[in-house]
Amino acid sequence: MISQLEKEVTLRFLKTRKNDGFLNIISIFSFIGISLGVAVLIIVMSVMNGFRTELIDKIVGFNAHAVVKPYSKPLKLMHKDELFINILSNDGEAVILNKNNTKGVLLKGYLENDFRHLKIMNNQEFFGSKNLTNNSISIGKELSFNLNVDIGDTISLMSPSGIQTLIGSLPKQEPFKIISIFDSGLSDYNENVVYINLETLENFFDKNKNERFLEFYFQNPKNIEVHKNNLLNIFPDELVYTWADMNSSLFSALKVERNVMFIILSLIIIVAAFNIISGLTILVKNKTRDIGILKSIGVTNESIKKIFFLVGFTIGTTATFFGIIIGSLFSYYIENIREFIANTFDISLFPEEIYFLNSLPSEINPSSIILIAFCSIITTIIVSIYPAAKASSLDTIKTLKYE
């Protein structure tokens, strides 16, 4: 427990006098350093969490959340419920031919009714018809720019499956009419994936209907591991993979980057916390006479240790909470701050063509803030122990003698 005397002496030591100018400067720099370290950590973690969330939302917005592919037996649609929907699909790779342009793409085939219910076809960036009939095609925005085509134009697709002619086997080539243009939010997807009718795709690639696979779309796609385990129990003999499996390297890289950034930026707090050691050491030196007087009136070494420990702990804890407030406010209004800086200095801080996002994402995670605050306070506690122990070990007689 902390006695009233210990509290009062701690508060008196925190109020530095005019002749303690250098000590005052060290205390201020310690406070500012820890506050900035905590604030920067919260801001960086919030932006990285926001970027990860935005990336997941875009990926699950146009990809199937889970896919079940057959090894031998054909798959059948499951009974749909409120937690998920499942549709039949198939895919294949082909080459688009248009005037002097060629482009390799992934064809994804859906039945007409299923195509209408895809999330990517029901956003504000979708233009054209949803009637995916035979020899009609839906392409991405970037691909339409690259090929210089629009809705209503016709392009040719070349299939790797051949047809027999008098001069031998030739690649199958068919014309397709563009009925719609979509925008997934990611240029790589817009440029390399197109949609055609499922039955047309199977004829185009000479595929069997037994090769069709199931695509699952869940209400809560972020909880994908639970859904995958459920599907593995339902389809123990089939191939099951999810959006997380297809993008595992990307999210692993993001996780590593976030952890490295946390470690590097934590050094700011550690360096600032070491200023507390300097400040407390100088404080002990300046308060040598006061320590001797306190000991002479019966204040124990344990109380002296508590007093100087509380001085360092109070500086560190107050700075930590101040940093949390600054970091949280900055993270919450970071997009407004970005727009203000961009408009004031006429610079682009977050180019959409590079990051594929029209705003700077930020997600304040309470668990991250708690972890940062915990690390900051623990660091403060550790660096406050040595000066406090040094103060309590001073000899009373020698202290008063030389003062």
> What's the pLDDT score for residue 398?
58
Alpha helix segments (H runs only) across 63-186: 112-116, 141-147
Of 181, 161, 182, nearest to 170 (Cα)?
161
- Amino acid identity at 98: N
> What's the pLDDT score for residue 22?
54
Contact 160, 99 (CB under 8 A): no
- What are the residue ranges spanned by the domains of the chain? 4-56+250-402, 76-211
Residue 34 to residue 377: CA distance in whole angstroms: 10
Q: What are the distances in angstroms from CA 269 to CA 36, 182, 313? A: 8, 47, 14
Residue 118 to residue 62: CA distance in whole angstroms: 8
Instruction: State both tokens at 71.
Output: 């090894």
> What's the pLDDT score for residue 326?
94
Contact 341, 347 (CB under 8 A): yes
What residues have CB less than 8 Å from 166, skipping those under 6 apart?
none
Contact 156, 204 (CB under 8 A): no
Residue 72 to residue 341: CA distance in whole angstroms: 59
Residue 248 to residue 401: CA distance in whole angstroms: 69
Place of tokens 């037996």: 73
Residue 181 to residue 183: CA distance in whole angstroms: 7
Q: What angle do CA 335, 266, 273 make, to 5 degrees?
A: 115
Q: What are the distances in angstroms from CA 185 to CA 119, 190, 191, 303, 403? A: 13, 8, 11, 62, 73
**pLDDT by position in tens, the chain (length 403):** 677 777 777 777 677 555 555 556 777 778 888 888 889 889 988 888 888 888 777 777 777 888 888 887 777 777 666 567 778 888 888 888 887 788 889 999 998 888 887 877 777 778 888 888 888 999 988 898 888 889 998 898 888 776 666 555 677 888 999 999 988 777 778 888 999 999 988 888 888 888 888 888 888 887 888 888 888 888 888 889 888 888 888 778 878 888 888 888 888 788 877 777 777 777 777 777 777 777 777 778 888 888 888 888 888 889 899 999 999 999 988 888 888 887 887 777 666 555 556 677 888 888 889 988 998 889 888 888 888 887 777 665 555 555 5
> What's the pLDDT score for residue 299?
77
What residues have CB less than 8 Å from 393, skipping those under 6 apart?
301
| SS3 call for 396 | helix
> What's the pLDDT score for residue 303?
84
For residues 57, 58, 62, 64, the Cα torsion angle rounded to the nearest 10 degrees is -40
What residues have CB less than 8 Å from 242, skipping those under 6 apart?
65, 66, 67, 224, 227, 228
> What's the pLDDT score for residue 277?
79
Of 117, 130, 108, nearest to 182 (Cα)?
130
Place of tokens 């499996």: 245
Q: What angle do CA 328, 329, 333 make, to 5 degrees?
A: 115
Helix or strand (DSSP H, E) at 381: helix 366-392
Instruction: Count CB atoms within 10 A of the CB of residue 85.
Output: 17
Of 204, 132, 243, nearest to 231 (Cα)?
243
Of 255, 228, 244, nearest to 56 (Cα)?
244
Residue 72 to residue 210: CA distance in whole angstroms: 8
Outline where DSSP puts E strands in 150-251: 154-165, 168-182, 193-197, 213-218, 239-242
Of 25, 42, 7, 29, nearest to 363 (Cα)?
42
Residue 62 to residue 43: CA distance in whole angstroms: 29
